[in-house]
Structure 1
Amino acid sequence: MLKHQRIIPLTILLGSLVMASCVSNKKYLALQTQHQDLAALYQKGQVDLAESRAKVKSLEDQLEQERKNNAALKEAYSKLQTTLDNSISQNSQGNVNISKLVDEINASNKYIQHLVNTKNKSDSLNVVLTNNLTRSLSREELRDVDVKVLKGVVYISLSDNMLYKSGSYEISDKAGETLSKIAKIIQDYKDYEVLIEGNTDSDPISKTNIRNNWDLSALRASSVVQALQNNYGVEPKRLTAGGRGEYNPIADNSTPDGKARNRRTQIIITPKLDQFMELIDKAPEADNAPTVEDL
């Protein structure tokens, strides 16, 4: 009986141990499973962290690139602004230059118009003066005398056939009446200077007392000067004699007609400098000038 009583507690103890052992295995297995889950979760967290770090690095790189792009845009904007400012400045200067150019064109047009008016007036005056100077000459004399007025200067060209004996510087008898009329013209311009200019053709002179055409042209001019002084009362201080020989031709010396035209004596009646300036009108005032819009 006692022995049987001892066996029962032992059985109970063993059963308790077996039951305790079963509970411990379950907890272990549960803990092991939980550990594995935590390990897997940790591993996933590490992967996620690495990915997050990679994304942060990528974002930081993008931010740095955008900062660089922004700096480049600012620099480009600054250059564009500078270019715009320069363009505006140059455009303003260009407007000033264009305005100045328009003013210069207007002034030039004004002066051109003045010259045209002056030329028209001068041409009309020259025609009137030429007609007045030649009206006392006969038709026969007009064949040997050419009278022109250019810019207030009177040019009277006399052929050598009318003035001189052939190959001589002595004035012929038939030239007296024509020279008297020329002297009247000179006396009408009493305050003007008078240049007598001799010219020859290219044929060499063969006179023993005349060296060359320079001598001949100067002697012929001197003969006319002395005739005007001694025979027609022209003041000698107004007179100048000069010779140009064969070196101022107005025609071709290869033909007889050309040579005849080159053998001439020219009387040039010229105003003194102060009188000449009086013949030139002053330019009109700017207010009367034609503008670009008027053209």
Structure 2
Amino acid sequence: MKKVLLLSVSTMLLLSSCVTKRQFTDLQAKQKETQDLLNSATVKLNSCLEDRAAATAKVGVLESQVSDLRKNNDNLQILSAKGASSIEKTLESIKEKELKISRLQEAVTKKDSITLALVTSLKREVGINDPDIEVSVEKGVVFISIADKLLFQSGSYTVTAKAKEILAKVAKVINSKPNFEAMIEGHTDSRSYQKGLLLDNWDLSVKRATSVVRILQSYDVSPTQLVAAGRSSYTPLVDNDTAANRARNRRTRVILLPKIDQFYEMIEKEMKNLEAGQ
């Protein structure tokens, strides 16, 4: 996501089942912190890989020398106990380093593996062939974008019957991933909106998000996995200069991601182990 998530605090007092600005900001901060830690881990991993390549080359030379010495009985006597011990220690050190690298690689790639499995599951469970439903992956996070016309009538935040069928499939996927969070984002176009208690597009986008959250919860999705958020018109996909473009910008996104705290703890543990030389 290219821009900071924006939430309306004042208007959300009128809405129920919606996250506070502070909760949403904390979630975004944790996600950024995790991404920064992942980048740091990747740098360390690349450094370790370079060290391993150099050490492996050194071992190749040493092993070749040992092989030559063993072919010559006279030269075998030159290979002292100290030299043999040094080679054994070098081999042992490389094995330990390879184990560290393997553990770090597992930590870094685990999230991507989970994401790939989730995308496969989503494409199977959700009507991905529908052009109004898009599944994408950005920075290890899965996004399901559902066009506004599939979910709501114009200017309404009441979920349509057809949308409930789609959300039932999304709920099934979320329920199969209890360690994932699902953030529901409402997006509008840039045209001004005001109706009843809804003052503007902020209100409309948040209200649509909470409507989807309630539908998902009715399909037994745990409320502890759900986050409702409104983005108003401030993160458009395209310019709002034509009716077709405005239709593209009116959408609801379901964002599926591993719980940030769990992933952060996993990476932090591996980083500490690497620094401690374990």
Question: What range is the shorter-chain TM-score in?
Answer: 0.5 to 0.7
- Which of 174, 179, 197 matches 2:185? 197
Q: SS state of the match for residue 190, structure 1?
A: coil
Mean CA deviation greater in 163-172 or 185-194: 185-194
Q: Write out per-residue CA displacement over residues 146-205 of structure 1, whole angstroms, 9 at most, x where no aligned residue.
A: 222345432221111111112110101111111000001111121222221111010111
Instruction: Spell out the pairing of 1:11-22 with structure 2 (5 A cutoff).
Output: none
Gaps of 5+ in 2: 1-42, 51-100
Report the Cα distance in structure 2 between the residues aligned to 1:239 and 1:121, rounded to whole angstroms. Answer: 23
Aligned to 1:165: 153
Report the Cα distance in structure 2 between the residues aligned to 1:211 and 1:241, rounded to whole angstroms. Answer: 18
Report the Cα distance in structure 1 between the residues aligned to 2:45 and 2:123, rounded to whole angstroms. Answer: 38
Shift of 1:206: 4.5
Aligned to 1:110: 47
- Which of 156, 165, 184 matches 2:172? 184
Aligned to 2:240: 253
Shift of 1:145: 1.7
Structure 2 residue 256 is the aligned partner of structure 1 residue 269: yes
Report the Cα distance in structure 1 between the residues aligned to 2:180 and 2:113, rounded to whole angstroms. Answer: 21
Q: Tell whether the 8 Å contact from 2:115 to 2:142 is kept in structure 1 after alignment.
A: no
Shift of 1:120: 8.2
Task: Report the CA distance shift for 1:254/1:111 in structure 2 as closer, same or farther (over 3 A).
Answer: farther
- Which of 213, 218, 230 matches 1:225? 213
Q: Write out per-residue CA displacement over residues 191-245 of structure 1, whole angstroms, 9 at most, x where no aligned residue.
A: 2222211110101114344211011001100100111112x01122322211111
The higher-RCO structure (CA 8 Å, 6+ apart) is: 2
Q: SS state of the match for residue 145, structure 2?
A: strand
Shift of 1:252: 1.1
Gaps of 5+ in 1: 1-105, 287-295
Task: Report the CA distance shift for 1:279/1:166 in structure 2 as closer, same or farther (over 3 A).
Answer: farther
Aligned to 2:223: 236
Mean CA deviation greater in 198-207 or 115-124: 115-124
Structure 2 residue 136 is the aligned partner of structure 1 residue 148: yes
- Cα RMSD after superposing both structures: 3.3
Number of aligned residue pairs: 180
Report the Cα distance in structure 1 between the residues aligned to 2:263 and 2:232, rounded to whole angstroms. Answer: 28
Report the Cα distance in structure 1 between the residues aligned to 2:194 and 2:136, rounded to whole angstroms. Answer: 33
* Identical positions, percent: 43
Instruction: Spell out the pairing of 1:43-58 with structure 2 (5 A cutoff).
Output: none
Task: Report the CA distance shift for 1:123/1:147 in structure 2 as closer, same or farther (over 3 A).
Answer: same
Q: TM-score, normalised by structure 2?
A: 0.54
Q: Tell whether the 8 Å contact from 1:129 to 1:149 is kept in structure 2 after alignment.
A: no
Q: TM-score, normalised by structure 1?
A: 0.51
Task: Report the CA distance shift for 1:150/1:278 in structure 2 as closer, same or farther (over 3 A).
Answer: farther
Q: Which has the higher helix share?
A: 1
Q: Tell whether the 8 Å contact from 2:121 to 2:173 is kept in structure 1 after alignment.
A: no
